[in-house]
Amino acid sequence: MTDPLPLDGVLVADFSRVLAGPLCTMTLADLGARVVKVERPGTGDDTRQWGPPFSETGPTYYESVNRNKESVCLDLREDEGRELARELALRADVVVENFKPGGMAKLGLGYDEISAENPGVVYVSVSGFGTAGGAHMPGYDFLVQAVGGLMSITGPADGEPTKAGVALVDVLTAKDATIGALAALEQRRRTGRGAHIDVSLLSSLQGALVNQGQAYLGAGKVPQRMGNDHPSIVPYQMLQCADAPLTVTVGNDGQFRRFTEVLGIPEVAEDEDYATNSARVAHRTELAAVLEQALAARTASEWQQALTEAGVPAGKVAGIDEGVALAEELGLEPTVDVQDRTGETVGRQFRHPAQWTPPLASPTQAPPQLGEDTDTVVQWLREPRGRAV
């Protein structure tokens, strides 16, 4: 007999769109929650139009964060749509929304309105810049990467500020929103009370700056772009080999000694300019030249194999396809097949990152087509509360 999933029986009303909110609710769905995604009739989530690329079933952007959900089209500009949406929120354990601050309240769907009749609701609001002075500012990942400081520390030292290659701030915010929702559900289990969780892209970014942010807060040092170098660890960078660069991430003095032994220059680890990490940081430019002279004798692939065997973390820059192949080779089972409502496999996606023991029988339902569940959900919302679909 299979154990129920951790969030089995939890109903999530998903009023979010694009990335941060939908990734949060997909995570909850992966853990067993029933997620009903409310979309605009005719167009749905913005990301349903974001492409190419497209899979056989739709835009890959939309599909990346919307599996294991139901899609219901409700026109929130109309009384009937708002009333059905309100009924859904009143039945929900969790509400997730990323309207502009105050937008849900204008529709009669804000936290105060919903919690008055559903005091146990966990209500998660995602915004770009919070609900105070930044309430009027639209929240887009690229913008927050820029004004929040991430781009100032990303990119070549002598080049232009650079964004991350994925909407990283949205992803971080989704994880913070999920953590908040799960913690609030646990608090409700103990107290019977729900909560309103506010998460902003700017706050999530700043919370993720960790050592770089604390360099400013704790030491008054404003970090700058250093390309692939690390401000506090050397060598922790890209080093040129005979044919291509190699990523080397030496985290301690013992690893550095093994690194120099593999390179055939063990005396470098005994040099007082390089013997400790602090010394290596002070002499990073000179050390890089010494290391690259030795690395020029072999290809990056050859060095990767030799260094890995010696316990020195190093690797070539890989494409996403190669990264998937590596995870498969290592037995991480990085992907899952997803099925449509008939049970036919229609695609492959990255699985939920956490692996459980004993394993979870996680759902693998493909992202819904627009309005695929409207009739069923609307019929259920018109029936007395307490009745399952």
Q: Residue 362: which pLDDT band, with cuts at 50, 70 and 90?
A: confident
**CA neighbor of 239 nearest in space, from 317, 322, 135:** 317
**From CA 236, how far away is CA 359, in angstroms rounded?**
36
Nearest to 354 by CA among 179, 97, 190: 179
CATH class (in words) of the domain with range 236-321: alpha beta
Rg of the chain (C-alpha set): 25
CA-based nearest residue to 71, from 377, 349, 387, 345: 377
The domain limits of the chain are 11-211+354-382, 236-321
List, by residue number, the catalytic residues.
170
pLDDT digits (tens, 9 = 90+) for 192-219: 999 999 999 999 999 999 999 999 999 9
DSSP 27-77: HHHHTT-EEEEEE-TTT-SGGGG--S-B-SSSBHHHHTT-TTEEEEE--TT
Q: Which amino acid is at 47?
A: T
Mean pLDDT of 8-21: 98
| Percent of the chain clearing pLDDT 90 (strictly above) | 96
Q: Is the pLDDT of residue 1 over 80?
A: no
**Global model pTM greater than 0.85:** yes
Percentage of the chain surpassing pLDDT 70?
98
11-211+354-382 adopts what CATH topology?
Rossmann fold (3.40.50)
